[in-house]
Chains A and B, each alone.
Chain A
């Protein structure tokens, strides 16, 4: 996208917000081992693996669409 304008692709911004949210959720998931939340199926540790998934997806987007100096 935006070949004429040479702007940062929207996918980079998507990556940044997913990476940030993923890291926060991942950290929360680790903390929940010592203090599990009062939610249904908390024993499956959804915050841990969902946070890891978001971090991974966000990281991939940031890596591939990181603005490069020409």
Chain B
């Protein structure tokens, strides 16, 4: 498991069966809170019912009619990644590691989002593909598509179940809600609104979630900074509480594995996180990229990730800052989940709800909890809608039933949504019995992302790459990633070889494993390409750089050009690195 791609490590402990206080929650909801939560549920169901009438074709259901504006697609693109476990997990990581957790939002996201918008999106969009495996089929053929689609569909639906279970546990710990109640109410709601409105519903609810999360969480850093006496006051308090470490600088402690609480070197952050994992996730994970496919034209498709990048840069304000506020302002210490289970103390993972309860009374608390629930549900909806698309278009249509009417695939998509939710529920219950499998599934998800990025990138930028090379590169990259994961799992001393240091900690493993598996994928692809026959150039039109005529933006005023806004975003990103260096 890795960055903002999925649940942070700490959250897995949160979701370990048997941990956390039972019965009473951290927060008690009053009637104004329940009204807000109840209204949210009614609203999402109402939206699903309303949108059903507009979901009449496969393109409507799976691609939201390809008519989203850049803003809607951009906010949805960002929200698909802004789940509640994500928020709580990274707030916990900020408490544990300090401002270093911000790397997952800045270097681990911004360059990749801009690269997607400027370099890759034109090819995805011009090829008119409906999914990332669909692009692989056009570029490399059926076998590469099948490999990618099977791994994606399998992992997505399992991830959805794990998220569902983790959500139910969070609700139990934070609110004292019954686990089965949380699982069934949330999944039935998601099944109804996605099965009715397809990607339209998922995107609408992601935009709602975006506003709820920002407006529900923004009060914490505002009031926290007031209490701490501004940023400088907060830094001073953190230094007073933790004089032995540097928790407020991004890069200056990255010179050596032993100098920072994450136990990672800057090369791991830059090459592993900032390059392979981040680019792999943001440019090839269909769960997020699907939102951009729904854009109404190529300019909107390019602008969507760029718009998302500005908001992504601001997310640490509502996620990382609450963790830092916890470090500076709480007059007790939070502990790892395992320790909390024994001692009864609060754990790192509770820092966000604790800060919420510190500042928010009735009503505001309901808004914050609704934001968390919205994050959980839209995350699940994102997984299920992506699963339905890949299953229907990339597995069912080519391998089970070719050439059926569009209405048949639409119906399959609706049933598949319900099936996906049911499998997720089943996974949630399996995880409830065997908590350790979460570790494996989380890791497997990231295992496929890094090599997939190598395959897609080479396919887009190099016309010589052959179909056979694409397949063998992807297969060998994935296999090597699995091998490295198992090696460390069964013999932890192997981490020193994979991360190139005996002082490397677990966080470094993901970075270096991703880097090596990507390199293996690229090397195998290049070598096999040298010995196999490429596709004729005319078959690569619309798919590969150099064989595709990209629409010119020269006639647009500067402020309407995606490249201009990408430049502004990149400049802002660099300024932030400098400020918090």
Contacts and interface: CB of A to CB of B under 8 A. Distances in A.
A binds B: yes
Interface of A: 1-5, 7-8, 10, 13-14, 16-18, 20-21, 24-25, 27-29, 32, 37-42, 44, 46-47, 50-51, 54, 57
26 contacts: A1-B67, A1-B68, A1-B296, A2-B54, A5-B54, A10-B207, A13-B47, A17-B208, A17-B211, A18-B211, A21-B215, A21-B366, A21-B367, A24-B36, A28-B364, A32-B361, A39-B358, A39-B361, A40-B223, A41-B223, A44-B226, A46-B223, A50-B219, A54-B215, A54-B367, A57-B215
Which 4 residue pairs spanning A and B have beta carbons closest together? A37-B361, A28-B363, A25-B363, A5-B54
Contacts of A25: 32, 36, 363-364, 366-367
B417 to A, nearest CB: 20
Interface in B337-370: 357-364, 366-367, 370
B72 A42 contact: no
Contact of B32 (A4, A17, A24, A54): A24
Nearest to A38: B361
A56 to B, nearest CB: 12
Given A5-B67, A10-B207, 12 more contacts: A2-B65, A5-B65, A7-B51, A10-B204, A17-B212, A24-B36, A25-B367, A39-B358, A41-B227, A46-B219, A47-B362, A47-B363
B50 interface: yes
B572 interface: no
Interface in B25-56: 32, 35-36, 39-40, 43, 47, 50-51, 54
Given A10-B204, A20-B39, A39-B359, A47 B67 contact: no
- Which of A1, A5, A38 counts the most chain B CB atoms within 10 A? A1
Nearest to B212: A17
A1 B370 CA distance: 26
B65 A4 contact: yes
Contacts of A4: 65, 67
Contacts of B366: 21, 24-25
B219 A7 contact: no
Nearest to B50: A8
Interface in B105-123: none
A19 B211 CA distance: 12
Contact of B364 (A17, A40, A50): A50
Contacts of B65: 2, 4-5
A7 B72 CA distance: 14
A46 B360 contact: yes
A54 B368 CA distance: 13
B69 interface: yes
A67 to B, nearest CB: 11
Contacts of A8: 50
A28 B34 CA distance: 13
A21 B38 CA distance: 11
A5 B61 CA distance: 13
B74 to A, nearest CB: 12
A14 B211 contact: yes
B67 A20 contact: no
A28 B362 contact: yes
A40 B32 contact: no
Contacts of A7: 50-51, 54
Contacts of A46: 219, 223, 359-361, 364
A14 B39 contact: no
A37 B362 contact: yes
Contacts of A20: 36, 39
A29 B366 CA distance: 13
Given A7-B51, A10-B204, A13-B208, A39 B227 contact: no
B54 A10 contact: no
A47 B364 contact: yes
Contacts of B227: 40-41
B393 to A, nearest CB: 21
